[in-house]
């Protein structure tokens, strides 16, 4: 599993790890059952404190993307499972609610919002791995 950290992004290291794992799962480069590197191993590779990787793994677990088997490692969970999908939808729902609230504050009607999403979706066509 390849992960790249850029130091001065303003983006916290643990978030960078989370995002890259998420992307690799979504893109199929990481499949259900695949084992992630042990915390210490990845930490050493990234020249980062093990706690930082631990935090990333913790977030990934609570997002339903991976499962931790105590002393046996961390594994990509089955994304097709109802539980994993439900978790993803739950998280996305939070984001959507925030967006709707903001649109309302701005007095922008729902239909305009939907149109905006259509447009941006078209513009942002190729989901690029790098940010």
Partner DNA sequence: TCACTTGTATTAATTCAATAATACAAGTCG
Partner DNA sequence: CGACTTGTATTATTGAATTAATACAAGTGA
Binding site for a copy of itself (CB under 8 A): 19, 22-23, 25-26, 79, 88-89, 91-93, 95-108, 110, 113-114, 116-118, 120-121, 124, 127
Contacts (CB under 7 A) with DNA, residues 92-121:
none
Check binding of 27 to DNA (CB under 7 A).
Answer: no
Nearer to a copy of itself by C-beta: 47 or 122?
Answer: 122
Check binding of 40 to DNA (CB under 7 A).
Answer: yes
Check binding of 32 to DNA (CB under 7 A).
Answer: no
DSSP secondary structure letters along the chain: ------TTSSS-HHHHHHHHHHHHHHHTSS-TTPEEPPHHHHHHHHT--HHHHHHHHHHHHHTTSEEE-GGG-EEE--TTSHHHHHHHHHHHHHHHHHHHHHHHHTT--HHHHHHHHHHHHHHT-S--S--
Query: Binding partner of residue 14 among a copy of itself, DNA, none, CB under 5 to 8 Å per kind?
Result: DNA
Give me the 49-78 binding string for DNA, x by CB under 7 A, dash otherwise. Answer: xxxx-xx-xx---------xxxxxxx----
């Amino acid at each position: 599993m390849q992960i790249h950290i850029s130091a001065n992004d303003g983006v916290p290291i643990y978030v960078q790890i989370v995002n890259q794992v998420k992307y690799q799962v979504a893109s199929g480069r990481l499949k259900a059952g695949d084992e992630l590197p042990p915390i210490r191993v990845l930490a050493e590779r990234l020249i980062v404190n093990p706690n930082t990787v631990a935090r990333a793994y913790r977030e990934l677990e609570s997002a339903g993307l991976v499962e931790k088997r105590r002393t046996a490692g961390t594994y990509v969970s089955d994304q097709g499972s109802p539980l994993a999908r439900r978790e993803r939808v739950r998280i996305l729902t939070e984001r959507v609610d925030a967006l709707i609230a903001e649109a309302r504050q701005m007095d922008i009607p729902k239909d305009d919002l939907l149109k905006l999403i259509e447009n941006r979706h078209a513009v942002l066509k190729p989901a690029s791995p790098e940010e």
